[in-house]
Amino acid sequence: MAFLARLFKRSTGLDQEREDAHQQGVRDARRHALHEFTDPDCRPAYLGEVRAMARERIARLDRELAEVRTALLREAGEARQAVLRMTVDFARPASPNGTHAANGRGEDEFISIAEARRRREERRRAAEARDSAERVFGARAQVERLAREWDGAVLRRNHDVEQVHAWAQRMIAAYRSGVMRAHPRREEIPPLWKGEVIAMDTAAPVAGSEEMGGLLEEVERRVELWQAEVNGRRELTTSQPPELEEAAPDEKGDA
């Protein structure tokens, strides 16, 4: 019921605006010089008022979009910096020389203290790798989410701008109907008055989309390179699957 009440109220308000525009057209057609409506190079003052109101509404929508753009780009930039920092500072596995020498022990029941330490270090590095991967992928997911939020904000802005255009056209149509009703030379009124159409500026949304897309592309490229580097080093430094390393007994070596 509340929705229907709001819808009825909005429809009623729009109907009143149309009626006011229609009556304004009737009054202007009776009061103003005939050439103001029949000369294609002239534009009735009412059309300028509607245009100014529409442009102000669109400007307000663009200011709101600019605020969203600033906030989202700031968050995306912070996430990008986090990805760059984590992928650069990631602790790399130990050099392969010591690893292969230690792995030559085979399946001895008892292992040396050095071997136990090596295995603990490998487990620690594996845990660090998992933690780093979670944080890196989390930061990338955040940038992706922010990019989707920006796309949604642009879609809402464009929809609202179209609504403003539709409102302006309805007001102009209602005004024209009033002029046509009262003007003695209605057949000479041009089909489109100069300046009647309001242009939609898309520069800001496009620029914001390019910036956000560039950030996302940079982050994804960096994560791919990081993954390739980590996987390559893991192959060089690990002679057996991590699952076997995790299962290898080291408690006796700690004693």
Q: Is the pLDDT of residue 98 over 50?
A: no
Whole-number mean pLDDT of the chain? 77
| Confidence tier at 7 by pLDDT (50, 70, 90) | very low
Band the pLDDT of 109: cuts 50, 70, 90.
Answer: low
Note the pLDDT of residue 67.
93
Which pLDDT score is estimated for 233?
Answer: 65
Q: What pLDDT is stored for residue 149 in this prediction?
A: 93
Mean pLDDT along residues 109-135: 81
Give the torsion sign (CA, 84, 87, 91, 92): negative
CB count in 10 Å sphere of residue 170: 15
CA distances to 33, 37, 103, 114, 199 from 193, rounded to whole Å, are: 16, 8, 86, 89, 15
pLDDT category at 150 given cuts 50, 70, 90 is very high
Cα diameter, the chain: 110
Please state the rounded mean pLDDT for residues 164-188. 88
Mean pLDDT score, 4-21: 69
Whether the per-residue pLDDT at 123 is higher than 90: the answer is: no
d(CA 71, CA 205): 14
